[in-house]
Amino acid sequence: MNKILFWNEEKIGISLIKIVVVLLILFICTMILLLVHMSLPAIKVFGLSFITNSEWNPVEEVFGAWPFIYGTLVTSFLALLLATPFGVFSALFISDICPLRFKGILSTLVDLIASIPSIVFGMWGLFFLAPFVRDHLAPLLREIPLSGPLFSGPCFGISILSASMILAIMILPTISSLTREIFNAVPTTYKEAALAIGATNFEKIKLSLLRPSLVGIIGALGLALARAIGETMAVVMLIGNTPQVVLSLLAPGATMASILANEYAEASSTLHLASLCYIAVILFAITMIVNFLARILIRVLSPKW
Amino acid sequence: MLARKIKNQLFLLFVSTIMLLTCIPLLLIIKHILTMGASAFSLELILNTPKAVGELGGGIAHAIAGSLLIVALASLYAVPIGIIAGVFLSEFRNSKLTFPLRTALDTLAGTPSIVIGIFAYVILVVPLKSFSGLAGSVALSLIIIPIVVKSTEEILKLIPITLREAGLALGFSRTKVIWHILIKCHRQALLTGVMLALARTMGETAPLLFTAFGNSNFTLNLRGPMASLPVQIFNYASSPHKDWQEQAWSGALVLIILVFLLSLSAKLVISVKLKK
Amino acid sequence: MKIYSLLLLPLLSSLLLLSSTVATAEQIIINGAGATFPYPIYTKWFSEFGKLNSTIQFNYQPIGSGGGVKQLLKETVDFAASDTPIKEDEKKSAPWPILHIPTVVGSVVMVYNIPELENSKSKEKLQLDGTCLAAIYLGKISKWNDPLLQKQNPKLVLPNKDILVIRRSDGSGTTEIFTSYLSASDTTWNSSPGSGKSIAWPTGIGAKGNDGITTMVKQSPYSIGYVEYAYAVSNALATASLKSGDNNYTAPSIASMSSAASSIGNIDSKDLQSGDLKKLSLLSQKGGKGVAAYPMSSFTYILLPLPKTPNAKLIALKQFLKWAINDGQSMAAKLDYAPIPKELAQKISEQLK
Residues B246 and B37 sit within 8 Å (Cβ to Cβ)? yes
Per-residue pLDDT at B193: 82
pLDDT tens profile C292-307:
888 899 999 999 998 8
- Asked if residue A127 is part of any domain, the answer here is yes
* pLDDT above 50: residue C290: yes
- Among chain C residues, the shortest Cα distance to B125 is held by C76
Nearest CA-CA partner of B240 in A135, C62, C131: C62
Task: Give whichever of B32-46, B65-79, C271-285 has the largest mean pLDDT.
Answer: B65-79
Eight-class DSSP state of C67:
H
pLDDT tens profile B195-220:
888 888 998 888 998 899 988 888 88
Per-residue pLDDT at A23: 93
DSSP 3-state of B54? coil
Q: What subunits touch chain B, counting only 3 or more CB pairs under 8 A?
A: A, C
ipTM rounded to 2 decimals: 0.85
- Among chain B residues, the shortest Cα distance to A20 is held by B81
What DSSP element (H or E) covers B274? helix B242-275
Residues C108 and C283 sit within 8 Å (Cβ to Cβ)? no
Q: How many CA atoms lie within 13 A of A27 on its CB side?
A: 18
Name the residue range of residue A213's domain. Answer: 49-301
What gap in Å lies between CA B183 and CA A147, rounded to an integer?
50
CA-CA-CA-CA torsion sign (C285, C287, C292, C294) = negative
- Asked if residue A222 is part of any domain, the answer here is yes
- Interface contact flag, B110 A290, Cβ < 8 Å: yes
Question: Based on the number of CB atoms within 10 Å of its own CB, is C315 exposed (0-12), middle (13-18) or buried (19 or more)?
Answer: exposed
- Interface contact flag, C2 B223, Cβ < 8 Å: no
Per-residue pLDDT at B50: 83
What gap in Å lies between CA A247 and CA C266, rounded to an integer?
56
What gap in Å lies between CA B172 and CA A87, rounded to an integer?
39
B chain contacts of residue A14, beta-carbon cutoff 8 Å:
174-175
- Asked if residue A140 is part of any domain, the answer here is yes
Mutation site for C-interface testing, chosen from A19, A124, A266 by largest number of C Cβ within 10 Å: A266
A chain contacts of residue C220, beta-carbon cutoff 8 Å:
134, 156-157
Per-residue pLDDT at A305: 44
CATH code assigned at A179: 1.10.3720.10
Is C1 within 8 Å of chain A by CB? Answer: no
Task: Give whichever of A114-123, B115-124, B265-274, C82-91 has the largest mean pLDDT.
Answer: B115-124
Could you tell me what percent of chain C has a pLDDT over 90? 39
- Interface contact flag, B134 C18, Cβ < 8 Å: yes
B chain contacts of residue A35, beta-carbon cutoff 8 Å:
115, 118-119
Q: What residue spans of chain C are helical by DSSP H?
A: 2-18, 39-52, 65-73, 88-93, 115-119, 130-138, 147-152, 173-185, 187-191, 209-219, 229-234, 254-262, 269-274, 277-280, 312-326, 342-351
**b/e code B225-246 from CB counts within 10 Å (16+ = b):** bbbbbbbbbbbbbbbbbebbbb
Q: Chunk chain A into consecutive blocks of 10 residues (it has 305) and report each block's average pLDDT, rounded to whole numbers.
A: 66 87 94 93 90 87 91 94 94 88 84 84 89 89 80 85 94 90 85 87 84 85 88 88 88 91 84 92 90 82 61
- Asked if residue A286 is part of any domain, the answer here is yes
- Interface contact flag, A58 C199, Cβ < 8 Å: yes
Per-residue pLDDT at C1: 47
Q: What subunits touch chain A, counting only 3 or more CB pairs under 8 A?
A: B, C
Per-residue pLDDT at C24: 47
A chain contacts of residue B23, beta-carbon cutoff 8 Å:
106, 109-110
Mean pLDDT of the B34-39 span: 83
Per-residue pLDDT at A80: 95
Nearest CA-CA partner of C301 in C130, C169, C171, C177: C177
Mutation site for B-interface testing, chosen from A22, A121, A181 by largest number of B Cβ within 10 Å: A181
Which amino acid type is present at position C68? G
**Min Cα–Cα distance to chain B from C286, Å:** 29
- Interface contact flag, A265 C219, Cβ < 8 Å: no
Point out the residue among A31, A106, A200 whose CB comes nearest to the CB of B5: A200
The interaxial angle of helices B187-202 and A160-185, nearest 10 deg, is 160
* pLDDT above 80: residue C7: no
Residues A206 and B180 sit within 8 Å (Cβ to Cβ)? no
Domain B43-275 belongs in CATH node 3.50.50.100: no
For chain A, how many structural domains are there in total? Answer: 1
What gap in Å lies between CA C102 and CA C83, rounded to an integer?
9
pLDDT tens profile C168-219:
988 888 999 999 999 988 899 998 888 888 888 999 989 888 988 999 999 8
- Asked if residue A214 is part of any domain, the answer here is yes
Mean pLDDT of the B52-80 span: 88
Domain residue spans in chain B? 43-275
Point out the residue among A172, A201, A220 whose CB comes nearest to the CB of B8: A201
- Interface contact flag, B217 C29, Cβ < 8 Å: yes
Beta pairing partners, B64: none
